[in-house]
Structure 1
Amino acid sequence: MFTGIVQAKCELLNIEESPGLKTFEVAMTQTLVKGLIPGASVANNGVCLTVTKVLNDKVFFDVMEETLALTNLANLSLSDSINIERSLTFGSEIGGHILSGHVHCQARVSAISRTDSHYNIEVELAPQWMNYIFYKGFVGVNGCSLTVGKVNKTGFILHLIPETLALTNLSELAVGDFVNIEIDSQTQVIVDTVERVLAQRGIS
């Protein structure tokens, strides 16, 4: 489990391709690597990956074919920045909202508005996922716990603060890029339950 509070953006040093998977080599800080062992879970752009090897300050992850198909990890190139969060430990402060690291889909960046007073990103989302997006609700974007801004028929707006931009790779996004989206699990359960009850009662 994760909190959606990204701890660092780390450089992708190498990608080794094998049948059905890619192995990522990621440079991490000594603080992030401390106590990290093979088998541990780490969120990479919001995707829960298992550590396969730790070599000094370099950490290795195997990314399976299905994960590559569903997430933006398939689009990464050498030297790209990855949002990193280690898994939640007992007693940790939860500053965002609970994330599983299981990405539901990707959203396309459709507009970026940057002025002296704001930094807004607008994304487009497939219709079936818009049912779970609500104004002021939670959403995981590249592993970041964010609050949903204005919602329209095809997507929603994110209002980003300087701290988020400094600590994550969201500041590096351009129009046309894709971000990983994890829907808030509680919202999904509530919406699906209400829809099922209404359907059983013949109410549309």
Structure 2
Amino acid sequence: MFTGIVEEIGKIESISRGRNSAVLTISAEKVLRGTKIGDSIAVNGICLTVTKLMNNAFQADVMHETLSRSSLAEAVKGSEVNLERAMAADGRFGGHIVAGHVDGTGTIAGKKKDDNAIWYKIEASPHIMRYVVEKGSITVDGISLTVAKVEDNNFSISAIPHTVSQTVLKDRKEGDIVNLENDIIGKYVEKLLYVQDEETNGLIGARQKDNTKKSTITKDFLAKYGY
């Protein structure tokens, strides 16, 4: 698990591409401290497993599913990436719960400065937008950010100069692709509120059909207990 608080910016030193996969070599310093082979590091919000350690770099495998869902498919040698180690059990929870499992990508549709903040408008598909709520959390390229505005097919975030300067947001411009991960809590709440239908989703076995019933957890129930 991660928190979306980027520790440093790394650089892709090499990409070895296979037919449907790739091996990345990424230069870094801070995230290598205490890191062992098999540990997890979020690379632009994507949870990758360290397979090899060098003096100032690490290697990680990227599978077909990850390439198809993320901006790593467009990565090139020299690209800068946000890096974060998995959260330590005794660490500070500075952002929000980030799994490192990217839901899809979005496109930066606008960027403007507003006094000491920088606004980014990001267009996203309906399966991303359904979980985006104003004042809620979203992960953009591994950065935990607060949603400032929501429209039909896009949302906006307002970032402070420190966040921009310490992450790859500083280089993001209109038309760039970014990795997006929705707040996982919203997905769990939806799962509890709405039982998947067998005919449309094929997730409930035939033997369970007669025993399937609607969840008793309601919005009023969640509100009563502080959700």
Q: TM-score w.r.t. structure 1 length?
A: 0.92
The residue type paired with residue 94 of structure 1 is F
The residue type paired with residue 48 of structure 1 is C
Identity, in percent, stands at: 33
Q: Which residue of 2 aligns with 1:98?
A: 97
Q: Which residue of 2 aligns with 1:132?
A: 131
Matched, 1:23 2:7: no
Structure 2, unmatched stretches of 5+, are 197-212, 216-227
Deviations 1:74-110 (A, max 9, x none): 1111111100000011100010001110011111111
Q: After TM superposition, give the deviation of residue 168 of structure 1 in Å.
A: 0.6
Q: After TM superposition, give the deviation of residue 187 of structure 1 in Å.
A: 1.6
Deviations 1:21-45 (A, max 9, x none): 111111111x321221111110000
Contact 1:15 1:78 in 2 (8 A): yes
Q: Which residue of 2 aligns with 1:5?
A: 5
The structure number with the bigger radius of gyration is: 2
Q: Which residue of 1 aligns with 2:46?
A: 47
Match of 2:67, SS state, is helix
Deviating above 4 A after TM superposition, structure 1's stretches of 4 or more consecutive aligned residues are none
Match of 1:69, SS state, is helix
CA RMSD of aligned residues (A): 1.8
Q: After TM superposition, give the deviation of residue 192 of structure 1 in Å.
A: 4.1
Deviations 1:110-157 (A, max 9, x none): 111125433110001111221211100011111111000110011100
Q: Distance in 1 between matches of 2:125 and 2:17?
A: 30
The residue type paired with residue 24 of structure 2 is F
Match of 1:174, SS state, is coil
Q: Distance in 1 between matches of 2:57 and 2:72?
A: 18
Q: Distance in 2 between matches of 1:135 and 1:188?
A: 16
Q: After TM superposition, give the deviation of residue 196 of structure 1 in Å.
A: 4.5
Contact 1:131 1:191 in 2 (8 A): no
Greater relative CO (CA pairs within 8 A, separation 6+): 1
Q: Distance in 2 between matches of 1:128 and 1:19?
A: 28
Q: Distance in 2 between matches of 1:94 and 1:192?
A: 25
The residue type paired with residue 26 of structure 1 is I
- Higher share of residues assigned strand: 1
Q: Which residue of 2 aligns with 1:193?
A: 192
Contact 1:132 1:191 in 2 (8 A): no
The residue type paired with residue 66 of structure 1 is E
Q: Which residue of 2 aligns with 1:59?
A: 58
Q: Distance in 2 between matches of 1:192 and 1:135?
A: 21
Q: Which residue of 2 aligns with 1:112?
A: 111
Aligned residues: 199
Q: Distance in 2 between matches of 1:157 and 1:168?
A: 17
Stretch moving more, 146-155 or 12-21: 12-21
Stretch moving more, 13-22 or 173-182: 13-22
Contact 2:116 2:160 in 1 (8 A): no
Match of 2:146, SS state, is strand
Q: Distance in 2 between matches of 1:134 and 1:169?
A: 24
Q: TM-score w.r.t. structure 2 length?
A: 0.83
